């Protein structure tokens, strides 16, 4: 009887722990970073983007069959060169997974005829501020089933 009680408590504890910590909703601060990322793209605002990118942020995207990488300085430099241009697109922000220290999100920029899909990794830095540490960027035709992922 003691063994059954012990096993029941162990299983119950494991289930509760998994349910509690498996997908913690992101904090309001993390959501603010995602919104700031979207706004910085739509308004080509390098200053806003610079505040939310980690110093070691990395952006990866494909150019043909080759994967290209840009660091934080290159990302900011390119945005400064185009500063103030208003993008004619709408945005869709979805949190895919989150924990107390990390968030994985998808930010789509929907243009007429194509979509830029961005998969962002956010992490808490040493000062407990959310920063974007990685951006994986994909360019997709608007009618593609790959774009129609979450409603």
Q: pTM value?
A: 0.77
Higher pLDDT, 2 or 88: 88
The kind and range of the H/E element at 66 are strand 66-71
pLDDT band at 6 (very low <50, low <70, confident <90, very high): very low
> Per-residue pLDDT tens for 137-147?
999 876 554 54
Statement: 24-141 belongs to CATH 3.10.450.50: yes
Beta-sheet strand order (sheet of 53-63): 66-71, 53-63, 130-141, 114-124, 102-111, 90-98
DSSP string, 72-100: HHHHHHHHHHTTTPPP--EEEEEEEEE-S
CA distance 33 to 28: 9
> In this structure, what token pair is assigned to residue 30?
């993390």
* H/E run at residue 46: helix 46-52
Express each pLDDT in 7-46 by its tens digit.
Answer: 444 445 544 444 444 557 778 899 999 999 999 999 999 9
**Which helix (H) or strand (E) segment is 49 a member of?**
helix 46-52
104-117 pLDDT tens trace: 999 999 999 899 99
Q: Distances from the Cα of 19 to the Cαs of 12, 16, 104, in angstroms?
A: 11, 5, 19
């Amino acid at each position: 009887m003691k063994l059954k009680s012990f096993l029941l408590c162990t299983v119950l504890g494991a289930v509760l722990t998994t349910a509690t910590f498996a997908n913690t909703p992101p904090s309001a601060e993390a959501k603010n970073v995602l919104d700031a990322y979207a706004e910085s793209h739509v308004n080509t605002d390098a200053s806003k983007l610079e505040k939310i990118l980690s110093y070691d942020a990395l952006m990866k995207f494909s150019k043909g069959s080759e994967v290209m990488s840009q660091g934080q300085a290159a990302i900011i430099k390119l945005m400064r060169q185009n500063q103030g241009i208003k993008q004619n697109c709408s945005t869709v922000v979805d949190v895919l997974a989150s924990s107390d220290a990390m968030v994985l999100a998808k930010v789509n920029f929907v243009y007429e005829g194509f979509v830029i899909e961005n998969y962002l990794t956010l992490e808490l830095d040493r000062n407990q501020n959310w920063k974007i540490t990685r951006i994986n960027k994909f360019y997709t035709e608007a009618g593609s089933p790959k774009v129609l992922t979450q409603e």
